[in-house]
Structure 1
Amino acid sequence: MNKLLAMALLGALTSSCTGSAGEPRSASLAGHLAARSDTDRTAAAVLYRAQSAYEDGDRAALSLALSRLDAVGLHPVGEEANDILARWRAAADQPAITRGRILGPGFMVGELAPKEERALEQTFLSGRGAAISLSALEGRPLEISVRDSSDQSLCRKVAERVTCRWVPLYTHRHTITLRNPNTKKTRYQLVID
């Protein structure tokens, strides 16, 4: 049943991203960007649901969330995310999925101590919509900022759940900085696409 649901979700995402031959290019592009926007929200929401199901010990919900993560092509970025995904799969009794080259959306998980700041670099492709979604698991706001290779600010927000979106003019590395402005440690999930 979970495989069928995952296949249906993947089919829906794929069909929503392709325009018909007679469709104007701008309409096809708008539809593609709307579908990508839905995928970004879905990936972040499903990642959050997977964490909640794991913490609640809800094996069925965790298995469903993992199938949906697989369907949208979300993969772990870094050892901590790899470890958590392996724990989730073990708890759901779901085998690990092996992939070739790392492509598509990814996620990171971690914890920030009070006033701690963490920076990472990611390369985004020219002309392709980029999105980063940050969720704080304890309900405390976190700060995220994105800067391009020229050190120009593309996004800076403080919230419990936040998404930054932009379209890079050329392919280059971006610096993503996370900061915990709180007086307590805060766990986070970051979806990068």
Structure 2
Amino acid sequence: MNPLLALAAPMLLAAAHPQEPVDAVSLAVARGAAAEAAGDGRAMLDAARTLEALGARPDSEGADLAKHWRALAQAQGVRDKAPPFRGRALGPAYRQGVLAPGASLATEQVFLAGQKAVVALVPEPARALNIRIQSRDRKNICERAAAAPRVSCAWLPLFTSRVEIRVVNQGPSSARYYLVSN
């Protein structure tokens, strides 16, 4: 295969099949976490750039992964020649956390009527995490076991409403995760 065509193929595929913002952010978070675990500064910088380009930001309680990975990459001597992309004011958000064995996290979020809602869970590899999303009246919207690199739930709310997002660690050891939503 022509090397230029091989490089262009992923971009052509991406243009033909645009990703949902939560999909793109959760994949970038998974790649960045794997790069950090492997000590790959170049890949951490690439993940940071992706998050910045998508306008992803931490929720009110989280650390900024793009800044974190950029700093780690620079500490390894990786130089960033491109200016940082500032992104848009609104967009997907992510939260990082660690759950002890048997522990759970419950958080609430409002999703707007008629706009696709997406929540993704990026678990640490080989961890037994589950995600459940319920409406205010306790009806299940989505419930899935998470496997690396990610699992996502998507739905179209008929009414603007608050939902509960619950992440549960059913495994025998602590598990780090990222929760990404739009």
1:108-187 equivalent positions in 2, closer than 5 A: 108-160=95-147, 161-187=150-176
Q: Which structure features the higher share of helix residues?
A: 1
- Residue of 70, 80, 83 corresponding to 2:52: 70
TM-score scaled by length of structure 2: 0.77
Provide the residue aligned with 1:44 in structure 2.
26
Q: 1:16-43 deviations in whole A, cap 9, x for unaligned?
A: 6xxxxxxxxxxxxxx9xx6353x43222
Q: 1:124-162 deviations in whole A, cap 9, x for unaligned?
A: 111111111112113222111001222221001113231
Provide the residue aligned with 1:26 in structure 2.
none
Q: Is contact 1:116-1:179 (8 Å) kept?
A: yes
SS of 1:119's partner is: strand
Q: Please give the root-mean-square deviation of Cα atoms over the aligned residues, in Å.
A: 2.6
Provide the residue aligned with 2:72 in structure 1.
91
SS of 2:30's partner is: helix
Structure 1 residues without counterparts, runs of 5 or longer? 1-8, 17-30
The 1:96/1:55 distance shift into structure 2, 3 A limit, reads farther
The 1:97/1:108 distance shift into structure 2, 3 A limit, reads farther
Identical aligned pairs, as a percentage?
A: 31
User: Which residue identity lines up with residue 109 of structure 2 in the other structure?
Assistant: Q
Structure 2 residues without counterparts, runs of 5 or longer? 1-10, 75-79
TM-score scaled by length of structure 1: 0.73
> In structure 2, how many angstroms separate the alpha carbons of the residues matched to 1:70 and 1:118?
26
Instruction: State whether structure 2 residue 171 is matched by structure 1 residue 190.
Output: no
SS of 1:79's partner is: coil
Q: How many residue pairs are counted as aligned between the two chains?
A: 162
Provide the residue aligned with 2:41 in structure 1.
59
